[in-house]
């Protein structure tokens, strides 16, 4: 059994992401965590949640693309990864279309009795 | 580096009926991605409930959120991010057939899981002793704000379900770690490390959203990172 320890690309089953990339991604994730905590301690009113969700989505994207190797996966895996997010967006979209309308005041043109 | 796959104990990929090894590898990985899709939808329902109730009872939710110890939450975020990093490094080590390194990195990852659960326990306990716990005397008091119950009900459901996933993930990684002990991994076979790590990253990914939503968007105070 020849088991030369040559470097990897194209030989193994999947793409090997070099450790140096993981270190950079981890450092960025720690930095973004500090950013999101720091921003939350400043009162930006309703913008706080927008900033928090944007930063969280950046972090999630970094985890998916690099830690989970999604960047190097085939299109079918991308479909599997993003289809549930599309469904979730539909659910959230539906909730936020439905609910504000349900609690809206009656239209002005309603007949007064 | 005595525990690299050596000629004596080298096994190669396991035999799978009707498939060659690369196909079995791709199928296993795609199967895990499909399972992760169902996990996103499982938590997605809770996220939708949280979003709706927060929109309806914004003031109560922000005030309830300030009861949480964001310092512990931030620390747990760093613990999980680090464990995700070591899990990703374990996959890289497995791809190069370095079983000893896989063992070490997965042991660190599982250790981080324990630290996460201990911190979570400290937080739950702090809530419990203050009566913020479903069915406590304070909770059942009619004076207890009903919208607080919505917040903490969702808090316990979401973090509890997440903690259950941490425990399951630790079990999955322990299974992958055992195979590293017997030098099972080589560049031809490392599927358990890869699918175990994928699951672990999802657990991290969900926490990445839980932490700011539960702890941070209610205008927490700089002065009370570890609660009152």
Structural domains in chain B, sorted by start = 56-216 (1.20.120.80)
Q: Which range of residues forms the domain containing residue A88?
A: 73-102
Q: Is residue A3 part of a domain?
A: no
Q: Which DSSP helix (H) or strand (E) runs through A79?
A: helix A75-102
Is the same domain home to A81 and A58?
Answer: no
Q: Which residues of B touch A101 (CB under 8 A)?
A: none
Is the same domain home to A98 and A60?
Answer: no
Is the same domain home to A31 and A59?
Answer: yes
Is the same domain home to A87 and A46?
Answer: no
Q: Is the pLDDT of residue A6 over 60?
A: no
**Cβ A83–B97 below 8 Å, yes or no?**
no
Q: Is A102 on the interface with B (CB under 8 A)?
A: no
Cα–Cα distance, A4 to A10 (Å, whole number): 14
Q: Is residue A26 part of a domain?
A: yes
Is the same domain home to A22 and A63?
Answer: yes
Q: What pLDDT, on the 0 to 100 scale, is given for residue A24?
A: 98
Q: For B139-198, what is each residue's pLDDT tens digit?
A: 998 888 889 999 999 999 999 999 999 999 999 999 999 999 999 999 999 999 999 999
Q: Which of residues 184-223 of B touch A (CB under 8 A)?
A: 186-190, 194, 197-198, 201-202, 204-205, 208-209, 211-213, 216-217, 219-222
At residue B212 the predicted structure's pLDDT band, cuts being 50, 70 and 90, is very high
Q: Is residue A45 part of a domain?
A: yes
Q: Is residue A111 part of a domain?
A: no
**Would you say B76 and B91 are in contact if contact means Cβ atoms under 8 Å apart?**
no
Q: Is residue A95 part of a domain?
A: yes
**Would you say B145 and B65 are in contact if contact means Cβ atoms under 8 Å apart?**
no
Q: Is B133 on the interface with A (CB under 8 A)?
A: no
Q: For A33-49, what is each residue's pLDDT tens digit?
A: 999 999 999 999 889 99
Interface confidence, given as ipTM, is 0.91
Q: Is residue A21 part of a domain?
A: yes
Is the same domain home to A21 and A40?
Answer: yes
Across the interface, of A18, A52, A87, the residue whose CB is closest to B212 is A52
Angle at the Cα of B93 from the Cα atoms of B88 and B94, rounded to 5 degrees: 95
Across the interface, of B33, B74, B91, the residue whose CB is closest to A33 is B74
Is the same domain home to A59 and A24?
Answer: yes
Is the same domain home to A53 and A37?
Answer: yes
Mean pLDDT of A86-106: 85
- Please provide the average confidence, as pLDDT, over all residues in chain A: 86
Q: Which residues of B touch A16 (CB under 8 A)?
A: 92, 95-96
Residue A16: φ, ψ to 5°? -95, 115
Is the same domain home to A45 and A20?
Answer: yes
Q: Is residue A97 part of a domain?
A: yes
Q: Is B44 on the interface with A (CB under 8 A)?
A: yes
**How many independent structural domains does chain A possess?**
2
B190: its two tokens: 């490392």
Q: Which DSSP helix (H) or strand (E) runs through A62?
A: helix A47-62
Q: Which residues of A touch B47 (CB under 8 A)?
A: 88, 92
Cα–Cα distance, B97 to B185 (Å, whole number): 5
Q: What share of chain B is helix, strand, coil (3-state, %, to 5)?
A: 75, 0, 25
**Would you say B122 and B72 are in contact if contact means Cβ atoms under 8 Å apart?**
yes
Q: What pLDDT, on the 0 to 100 scale, is given for residue A105?
A: 64
Is the same domain home to A56 and A80?
Answer: no
At residue A71 the predicted structure's pLDDT band, cuts being 50, 70 and 90, is very high
Mean pLDDT of A61-71: 97
At residue A13 the predicted structure's pLDDT band, cuts being 50, 70 and 90, is confident
Cα–Cα distance, B90 to B56 (Å, whole number): 44
Long-range Cβ contact pairs of B72-75 (< 8 A, separation 24 or more): B72/B119, B72/B122, B72/B123, B72/B225, B72/B226, B72/B227, B73/B123, B73/B211, B73/B214, B73/B215, B73/B216, B74/A33, B74/A37, B74/B211, B74/B215, B74/B225, B75/B119
Q: For B52-98, what is each residue's pLDDT tens digit?
A: 999 999 999 999 999 999 999 999 999 999 999 999 999 999 999 99
Q: Is residue A56 part of a domain?
A: yes
Q: Is the pLDDT of residue B5 over 80?
A: no
Is the same domain home to A42 and A81?
Answer: no
Listed residue (B124, B89, B120) closest to B106, CA to CA: B89
Listed residue (B25, B220, B188) closest to A48, CA to CA: B220
- If DSSP codes are grouped into helix, strand and coil, which group holds residue B147? helix
**Would you say B84 and B204 are in contact if contact means Cβ atoms under 8 Å apart?**
yes
Q: Is the pLDDT of residue B113 over 70?
A: yes
Q: What pLDDT, on the 0 to 100 scale, is given for residue B1?
A: 44
Helices marked H in B96-211: 99-129, 137-140, 146-181, 191-211
Is the same domain home to A34 and A47?
Answer: yes
């Amino acid at each position: 059994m020849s088991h030369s320890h040559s470097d990897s690309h194209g030989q193994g089953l999947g793409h090997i992401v070099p450790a140096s990339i993981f270190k950079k991604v981890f450092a960025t994730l720690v930095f973004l965590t500090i950013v999101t905590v720091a921003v939350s301690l400043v009162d930006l009113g309703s913008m706080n949640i927008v900033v928090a969700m944007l930063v969280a989505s950046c972090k999630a994207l970094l985890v998916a693309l690099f830690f989970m190797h999604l960047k190097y996966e085939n299109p079918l895996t991308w479909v599997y990864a993003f289809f549930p997010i599309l469904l979730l967006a539909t659910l959230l979209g539906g909730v936020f279309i439905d609910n504000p309308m349900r609690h809206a005041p009656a239209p002005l043109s309603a007949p007064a009795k | 580096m005595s525990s690299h796959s050596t000629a004596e104990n080298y096994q190669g990929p396991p035999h799978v009926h009707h498939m060659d090894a690369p196909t079995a590898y791709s199928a296993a990985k795609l199967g895990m991605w499909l399972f992760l899709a169902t996990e996103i939808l499982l938590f997605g329902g809770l996220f939708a409930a949280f979003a709706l109730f927060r929109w309806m009872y914004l003031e109560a939710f922000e005030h309830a959120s300030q009861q949480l110890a964001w310092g512990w939450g931030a620390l747990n975020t760093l613990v999980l991010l680090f464990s995700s990093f070591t899990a990703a490094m374990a996959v890289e080590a497995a791809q190069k057939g370095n079983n000893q390194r896989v063992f070490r990195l997965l042991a660190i990852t599982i250790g981080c899981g324990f630290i996460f659960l201990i911190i979570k326990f400290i937080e739950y306990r702090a809530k419990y002793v203050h009566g913020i716990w479903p069915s406590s005397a304070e909770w059942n008091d009619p004076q207890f704000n009903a919208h607080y119950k919505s917040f903490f009900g969702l808090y316990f459901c979401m973090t509890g379900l997440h903690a259950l996933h941490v425990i399951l993930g630790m079990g999955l990684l322990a299974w992958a770690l055992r195979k590293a002990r017997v030098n099972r991994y080589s560049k031809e076979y490392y599927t358990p490390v890869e699918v175990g790590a994928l699951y672990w990253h999802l657990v991290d990914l969900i926490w990445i959203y839980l932490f700011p939503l539960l702890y941070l968007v209610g205008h927490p105070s700089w002065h009370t990172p570890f609660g009152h």
